[in-house]
Amino acid sequence: MEALGEYLKEVRLKLNVSIDKIVEDTHIVKKFIEAIENEQFSIFPGEAYLKGFIRTYSEYLGIDPEDVIKRYEKIKMAESPTPIEQLIPKPSINLKPIFITVGIVLLGSLIVFGLINLGISISKNVTNEKIDKKKNNKELVENNNTGTTQTTQAIQNGKDKKITNIYKMTEKETTYNLKKDEAVEFNIGQNKFTLLLKELTPTVILVDQSGKEYYLIKSYQQKLDLNHDLSNDADVILNSWDEKVANIKIKLYEGDASTTVSTDSSNTVSTNNTSTVLNIQGDNVESIIKKTEIEDIAFDINVQNETFLRYKADDKQDVESFYKAGSIVNIKASKSIIIWLSNAGAVNFNFKNYSKILNPGEVGKIEVKLVKWVQSSGSEYELQISNLK
């Protein structure tokens, strides 16, 4: 049988379709399409993800997804090793007494050997402890003197991340055309910080020196507290982007110009500025309910297959986690909420108060959804759900 990856690649080439075009149309990350064609199935976070991507890719190519999934399952079965107990014939004589005798002899030998090694190990540990103390003291001095190096290395230590270019930010407000793996370095007080462009498609992702990721949305003002002092240090706005470059404006706060991050009684972090989410307009708007007064937004995300998702209610801190099949995520917000879905077909949204269940997208597709109240007329408000990219 023809290899699965070669088969899909051959169909794609016959259709004269590039991988970049498939990424644009299906929103499947490029590395996953390449992994399917190269049969590098181990990079996928789970079986559900892999089969979902195979299904979406097959449907896009116009071939039967069930047939392709069966091909994958046959490959998986062929690669599964036969249990070793099935390969070793069972002995015709009783070896139990022999095994017991040999085991006793080995156990005695191990005890003697262990006592000897214990004495050697104690001596080595004392020496190593002295060396470690000297090394730690040296690193402490180096870290205090090289903030830039520490920041850059923290990002580069992330999986498969190498900074290809660093822009030095000298003004309080600058706009950059950033390519993937390029970074911007700037000062906040006496400390240096770096923002790296991690991904361009299907969603623009920045990562800071601590490894925290920021999912950017076009025209949305993303506030960053980089030094964790409960004050916002910078604004980041995504003006535009494509598969090659992102046009991003970075504005640093000066002195008392920064907004304060406060913690309420429920230990939820929020900012005291007016929400900018309400100014965002998504695509493919769908109405959920119309009311004469704005109500709290409350609905459940029902997880049907294991998936990763992230959400941001109003101006509160992002919440993200990996959820197993059968999980129910309770969502609450006052005026708006943004939801990032790594597998849109793995969940549904249940607006129980309005007896409405919505499917946010297809299996294997990455989606960003905005749910918010919009004034539709003078005295009427509409709860809408739309797509953000």
Grade residue 225 by pLDDT with cuts at 50, 70 and 90.
confident
- Let me know whether 73 and 33 are in one domain: yes
pLDDT (mean) for 222-240 = 83
Is 183's pLDDT higher than 70? yes
- Let me know whether 182 and 239 are in one domain: yes
Residues 6+ apart with CB under 8 A from 117: none
Is 63's pLDDT higher than 80? yes
Distance CA 339, CA 308 (A): 11
Is 261's pLDDT higher than 70? no
- Per residue, the 3-state secondary structure of 364-378, as one string, reads CCCEEEEEEEEEEEC
- Let me know whether 218 and 294 are in one domain: no
Task: Answer yes or no: is 210 within a domain.
Answer: yes
pLDDT at 173: 93
Q: What is the CATH number of the domain that holds 165?
A: 2.60.98
For residue 353, what are the domain limits?
278-388
Grade residue 211 by pLDDT with cuts at 50, 70 and 90.
confident
Per-residue b or e along 305-324, where b marks 16 or more CB atoms closer than 10 Å to that residue's CB: bbbbbbbbbbbbeeeeeebe
Pick the last residue of a domain from 220, 240, 267.
Answer: 267
Q: 3-state SS of the chain: helix, strand, coil percent to 5?
A: 35, 35, 30
Total residue length of the chain: 389
- Let me know whether 51 and 75 are in one domain: yes
Pick the last residue of a domain from 39, 57, 79.
Answer: 79
Is 247's pLDDT higher than 90? yes
Q: What is the CATH number of the domain that holds 65?
A: 1.10.260.40
Q: Which two three-digit tokens encode residue 38?
A: 């190269």
Phi, psi of 38 (to 5 degrees): -95, 0
Task: Answer yes or no: is 18 within a domain.
Answer: yes
Q: What is the pTM of this model?
A: 0.46
Average pLDDT score over the chain: 77
Do residues 203 and 238 lie in contact, with contact meaning Cβ atoms separated by under 8 Å? Answer: no
Q: Which two three-digit tokens encode residue 375?
A: 């004034």
pLDDT (mean) for 240-258 = 79
- Let me know whether 198 and 260 are in one domain: yes
pLDDT at 270: 38
- Let me know whether 19 and 69 are in one domain: yes
Task: Answer yes or no: is 86 within a domain.
Answer: no
Greatest mean pLDDT among 200-204, 213-217, 254-258, 272-276 lies in 213-217
pLDDT at 88: 52
pLDDT at 138: 47
Q: pLDDT tens, 264-281?
A: 433 333 334 434 455 667
Task: Answer yes or no: is 381 within a domain.
Answer: yes
CA 96 from centre of chain: 52
pLDDT at 233: 86
Is 386's pLDDT higher than 60? yes
Q: Determine the 3-state secondary structure of 225 from DSSP.
A: coil
Task: Answer yes or no: is 100 within a domain.
Answer: no
Task: Answer yes or no: is 353 within a domain.
Answer: yes
Q: Which two three-digit tokens encode residue 356?
A: 């409405």
- Let me know whether 220 and 290 are in one domain: no
**Beta-carbon count within 10 A of 233 CB:** 20
Q: Is 334 exposed, middle or buried (0-12, 13-18, 19+ CB in 10 A)?
A: middle
**Beta-carbon count within 10 A of 161 CB:** 15
Bigger pLDDT: 153 or 295? 295
Distance CA 36, CA 19 (A): 12
- Let me know whether 74 and 33 are in one domain: yes
Task: Answer yes or no: is 115 within a domain.
Answer: no
pLDDT (mean) for 176-199 = 91
Q: pLDDT tens, 100-155?
A: 666 676 766 666 566 566 555 545 554 555 455 445 444 443 444 444 444 455 45
pLDDT at 26: 76
- Let me know whether 227 and 258 are in one domain: yes
Q: pLDDT tens, 303-348?
A: 998 888 889 898 888 888 888 889 999 999 998 999 988 888 999 9
On the question of a cis peptide bond just before residue 202, with omega within 30 degrees of 0, the verdict is yes
- Let me know whether 260 and 285 are in one domain: no
Distance CA 293, CA 53 (A): 42
Grade residue 51 by pLDDT with cuts at 50, 70 and 90.
confident
Bigger pLDDT: 2 or 221? 221
Do residues 217 and 280 lie in contact, with contact meaning Cβ atoms separated by under 8 Å? Answer: yes
pLDDT at 94: 57
Pick the last residue of a domain from 47, 79, 111.
Answer: 79
Distance CA 8, CA 61 (A): 8
- Let me know whether 256 and 306 are in one domain: no
pLDDT (mean) for 272-292 = 72
Number of domains in the chain: 3
Task: Answer yes or no: is 154 within a domain.
Answer: no
Q: Report the percentage of the chain scoring pLDDT > 90.
A: 29
- Let me know whether 213 and 246 are in one domain: yes
pLDDT at 85: 52
